[in-house]
């Protein structure tokens, strides 16, 4: 099975993507000091050379308070402004597009999910209500000035990404980080215009998207990643019905999102009882925007935090499901995570009908940027 629909071009915000294969954003914590290295440029260029049409970078910090840790890359600071252009050019040389995932962790301590690296204690974590989870106070609640400054930092990082040559950015609105903390009532207990009913909890995201749109040109892709699941809980839900989901994605689309990335751990699972469509398919219908699906594509074991669950056999039966969903129009793009770490040439192998040559994913593969 070589999935012909995967290899049709797609135009998003007037950028023609050569095919439907995306690299999922994956934090690798291999940028001491936060600047992209030559090894990192090689790593992304290898995936572009292997036929990936759209690279979504690992999460990139927009300011110090929002950084996951000292070894993740950043798009703030004068030195960062020029550091990304060579990496972007390496990807473009293979006719692939590349967008930077902009990330603010909010109330989040890597130690909570047993990850090692942490920022110095002097960094005060900011979030809607000073809560990492309903029963986990952390850092402090943002003032309206903090909110305005954070939105400005997102817009600056997006403008810097455009200057560096990126084709767009992806706003990390998923997995329980800052933007998701505003969306989720359990971590947003505010009584000002940023908290309360679902529409008010969206205010931060809507203002952020508008600010990024104003800071960049109309052909610069604004993608947004959303999920139900959080780092601290796989069973959290943002919307219990299509109506509730529409109330989230319609305003985001109106604010300027060009592309939604619907993060699930198993792409084939239905979103609502009584209907076979997954989260991506629903978001596409409800927002009218193109969507990316993701989650265990060609892998027999789903993603778990910490990243150590950890060996995943190849599951070729997913290819027929992927192709059928693309052909039906349920989703427009497919993001590949761990399978693309294991197989930089994932797209080429599928295109050539050589899926049986895919390698399984193993934990040791996370130790290098191969």
Ligand X SMILES: Cc1cc2nc3c(=O)[nH]c(=O)nc-3n(C[C@H](O)[C@H](O)[C@H](O)COP(=O)(O)O)c2cc1C
Residue 43 in tokens: 């790593």
Three-state SS for 159-222 is: HHHHHHCCCEEEEECCECCHHHHHHCCCCCCCCCCCCCCHHHHCHHHHHHHHHHHHHCCCCCEE
109-117, 142-150, 167-175, 285-293 -> range binding ligand X (CB under 6 A) = 167-175
Q: From the CB of 71, what's the least distance to ligand X, in Å?
A: 12
Is 177 a known active-site residue?
A: yes
* Beta bridge mates, 331: none
Considering the rule CB under 6 A, would residue 25 count as an interface residue with ligand X?
yes
Q: From the CB of 143, what's the least distance to ligand X, in Å?
A: 27
Strand-strand pairing, 221-227 and 259-263: parallel
Contact with ligand X (CB under 6 A) among 31, 45, 50, 58: 58
Considering the rule CB under 6 A, would residue 174 count as an interface residue with ligand X?
yes
Residue 179 in tokens: 């933007």
Q: From the CB of 335, what's the least distance to ligand X, in Å?
A: 7
Q: From the CB of 145, what's the least distance to ligand X, in Å?
A: 28
**DSSP assignment letter at 299:** B
Contact with ligand X (CB under 6 A) among 49, 161, 299, 314: 299
Contact with ligand X (CB under 6 A) among 74, 225, 289, 318: 225
Contact with ligand X (CB under 6 A) among 337, 345, 349, 358: 337
Measured from the CB atom, the residue of 132 and 179 that comes closer to ligand X is 179
Considering the rule CB under 6 A, would residue 307 count as an interface residue with ligand X?
yes
User: Cα 165–97–26 angle (5° rounding)?
Assistant: 95
Contact with ligand X (CB under 6 A) among 26, 115, 224, 253: 26
- Taking alpha carbons only, the member of 322, 329, 365, 321 closest to residue 344 is 365
Question: Rounded to an integer, what distance in angstroms lies between the CA atom of residue 82 and that of residue 88?
Answer: 11
The answer to whether residues 349 and 343 touch, using CB atoms and an 8 Å cutoff, is yes
Cis geometry, peptide bond prior to residue 270 (ω within 30 degrees of 0): no
Burial letters for 7-27: b for 16+ Cβ neighbours within 10 Å, e otherwise? Answer: beebebbebebbbbbbbbbbb
Considering the rule CB under 6 A, would residue 339 count as an interface residue with ligand X?
yes
Measured from the CB atom, the residue of 190 and 281 that comes closer to ligand X is 281
Contact with ligand X (CB under 6 A) among 18, 22, 27, 279: 27
- Taking alpha carbons only, the member of 61, 91, 99 closest to residue 259 is 99
Position of minimal CB gap to ligand X: 337
3-11, 36-44, 148-156, 336-344 -> range binding ligand X (CB under 6 A) = 336-344
Residue 343 in tokens: 């197989």
Residue 109 in tokens: 């301590």
Catalytic member of 76, 177, 194, 234: 177
Considering the rule CB under 6 A, would residue 349 count as an interface residue with ligand X?
no
- Taking alpha carbons only, the member of 293, 286, 285 closest to residue 333 is 293
Q: From the CB of 369, what's the least distance to ligand X, in Å?
A: 12
Where in the sequence numbering do the catalytic residues fall? 177
Residues that bind ligand X (CB under 6 A): 24-27, 58-59, 101, 172, 174-175, 225, 263, 294-297, 299, 303, 307, 336-339, 366
């Amino acid at each position: 099975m070589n999935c012909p629909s995967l290899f049709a071009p797609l135009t998003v915000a007037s950028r023609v993507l050569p095919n439907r294969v995306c690299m999922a954003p994956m934090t690798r914590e291999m940028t001491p000091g936060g600047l992209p290295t030559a090894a990192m440029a090689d790593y992304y260029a290898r995936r572009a050379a292997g036929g990936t049409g759209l690279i979504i970078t690992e999460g990139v910090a927009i300011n110090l308070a929002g950084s996951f840790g000292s070894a993740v890359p950043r798009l703030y600071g004068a030195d960062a402004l020029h550091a990304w252009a060579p990496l972007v050019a390496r990807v473009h040389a293979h006719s692939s597009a590349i967008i930077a995932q902009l990330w603010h962790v909010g109330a989040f301590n890597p130690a909570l999910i047993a990850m090692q690296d942490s920022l110095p204690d002097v960094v005060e974590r900011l979030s809607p209500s000073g809560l990492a989870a309903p029963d986990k106070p952390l850092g402090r609640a943002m003032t309206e000035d903090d909110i305005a400054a954070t939105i400005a930092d997102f817009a600056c990082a997006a403008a810097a990404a455009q200057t560096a040559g990126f084709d767009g950015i992806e706003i990390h609105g998923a997995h329980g980080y800052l933007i998701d903390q505003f969306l989720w009532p359990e971590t947003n207990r505010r009584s000002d215009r940023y908290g309360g009913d679902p529409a008010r909890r969206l205010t931060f995201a809507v203002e952020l998207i508008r600010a990024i749109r104003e800071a960049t040109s109309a052909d610069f892709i604004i993608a947004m990643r959303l999920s139900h699941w959080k780092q601290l809980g796989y069973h959290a839900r943002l919307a219990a019905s299509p109506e509730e989901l529409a109330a989230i994605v319609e305003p985001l689309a109106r604010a300027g999102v060009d592309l939604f990335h619907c993060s699930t751990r198993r792409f084939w699972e239905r979103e609502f009882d009584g209907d076979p469509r997954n989260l991506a398919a629903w978001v596409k219908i409800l927002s009218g925007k193109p969507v990316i699906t993701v989650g265990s594509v060609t892998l027999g074991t789903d993603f778990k935090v910490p990243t150590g669950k950890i060996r995943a056999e190849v599951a070729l039966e997913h290819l027929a499901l992927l192709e059928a969903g693309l052909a039906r129009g349920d989703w427009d793009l497919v993001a590949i995570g761990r399978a693309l770490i294991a197989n930089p040439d994932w797209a080429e192998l599928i295109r050539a009908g050589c899926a049986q040559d895919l390698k399984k994913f193993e934990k040791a593969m996370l130790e290098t940027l191969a």
